[in-house]
Amino acid sequence: MSVSVDPVELTDRVKREARRLGFDLVGVTDPEPPPHLDVFERWLEAGRHGEMDYLSTERSLRRRADPRRILPECESILVVGANCLPGPAQNRDDSARIAAYARGEDYHAVLVERLRRLVAFIQEQTGLKDLPHRIYTDTGPLLERELAQRAGLGWIGKNTCLINPTRGSHFLLAEVMLAIRLVPDSPYPADRCGSCTRCIAACPTECILPNRTLDATRCISYLTIELKGAIPAELRSSMGDWVFGCDVCQEVCPWNVRFSRPTRDPAFQPTPALANPRPQDFLNLHPTGWRARLRGTTLLRAKRTGLVRNASVVAGNRASQEMVQPLAAVLGGDPDPVVRAHAAWGLGRIGGSGARKALLEAQTSEQDPEALIEIATALRALEDAANERARSA
């Protein structure tokens, strides 16, 4: 779509306005098909996406293969990044950890609103009040990190995150597909991970694969957010204190250690409920009032079942006797059998007379087969631990 404004001048104005609206990174690319789509397709074929079936639908694949299937008039894709690293970091010993991007306001609402204002600016500058466009932030069939690399914002690291050479990787990406021509940026040319493998070595569940993809079915972010059923027992102890998401691979990245700095953006500062939450705060989520407590945050995506389930695992990994009473209350009274099963696992990890008493009481009243299996497994674990102590005495 032709406009009277010179594309170079328009692109410069748009980038300045994007930065004024709070975006730290801004770049432009074209809507050509992604050259590395085959990597994504092989990743799906291997089942690395787990239960995220929305990624593998025929319609989704067609649109990812050619952005013009989303917006036929598209001439440019504006790619932006917003620093989401809050400060100060969680620093209390009994905190339940939440990924940095999720501790503030829900980024979907924040970034989409800012992009709507940016589109309004573009419409004003061009005089095109009905300018065809599409706005996405982690919600549409676009290979976002590849688009960001093509727009010059950085390279895709070994941990699969987009890394900017002067700001690190704590960014949320978003895109605007536009039916006008902006001047595209040159793709970021280098892979600056070099021989470093710190992210791979540090991953608690060994989910990072050698071809710059990851096995989502082992990733703590997937386990705590996308997975809706039981967390595989063999991965629970590796979850540590993470109740929603995970930042380990970013925390050890040298580009973040050296260059990443907390944002001053008020939208991404910790909300009061998420400043220093404890596992108990999630174990106590009320079945009907929990949404109000977390309204306006991305934690709603995990739903109550996921959050209490995750907190039960964190409580078990904490292995503190102060977690026994909250877990016993969940095991004895939570309406969701998945949650009760994980509470049983947590009690089995902690041990002690209080945990054993709660498990035995639940065993007499529990009706769900899977929860009963978890209770029996936990009791066996306590018995094995007691026998081991007796042999060592």
Region 64-70: mean pLDDT is 96
Distances from the Cα of 239 to the Cα of 100, 221, 278, 368, angstroms: 16, 10, 15, 25
Per DSSP, the residues of 295-342 read: TTSGGGGGHHHHHHHHHHHHHHHHT-GGGHHHHHHHHHH-S-HHHHHH
The one catalytic residue among 30, 66, 94, 138: 138
Per DSSP, the residues of 107-137 read: HHHHHHHHHHHHHHHHHHHHT-TT--EEEES
Nearest to 375 by CA among 327, 303, 322: 327
Measured over all CA atoms, what is the biggest interatomic distance in the chain, rounded to whole angstroms?
87
Confidence (pLDDT) at 13:
98
- Name the token pair of 101: 């991007």
Whether pLDDT at 257 is above 90: yes
Region 28-38: mean pLDDT is 95
Query: How many other CB atoms are there within 10 angstroms of residue 351's CB atom?
Result: 18
d(CA 301, CA 173): 18
Confidence (pLDDT) at 2:
60
Assess contact for 177 and 63: CB atoms under 8 A. no
pLDDT in tens, 185-218: 999 999 999 999 999 999 999 999 988 999 999 9
Q: Is 336 a catalytic residue?
A: no
Confidence (pLDDT) at 139:
85
Region 105-111: mean pLDDT is 97
pLDDT in tens, 123-172: 999 999 999 999 999 888 999 999 999 999 999 999 999 999 999 999 99
Summary mean pLDDT of the chain = 95
Confidence (pLDDT) at 97:
96
d(CA 80, CA 153): 8
